[in-house]
Amino acid sequence: MSLLDLFSLAAPILLKGTGYTLIFAFSAMFGGLLLGFALAVARIVPHRLSQWPAAVYVSMMRGTPLLVQVFIVYYGLPGIGISFDPLTAGVLALSLNAGAYISESLRGAILGIGRGQWSAGYSLGLTYGQNLYYVVLPQALRLAVPSMSNTLISLIKDTSLVSVITVTELLLATKDVIATTFRPLPLYLAAAGIYWVLSLCLERVQLRLEKYFGRGEAV
Q: Which domains does the chain have, with CATH numbers?
A: 3-212 (1.10.3720.10)
Model confidence at 217, pLDDT cuts 50, 70, 90, reads very low
Tens-place pLDDT, residues 26-62: 999 999 999 998 999 898 887 778 889 999 999 999 9
Whole-number Å distance between alpha carbons of 174 and 24: 17
pLDDT of residue 219: 38
Residue 140 CB contacts under 8 Å (≥ 6 apart), including other chains: 106, 109, 110, 112, 113
**Mean pLDDT, range 103-126, rounded to an integer:** 83
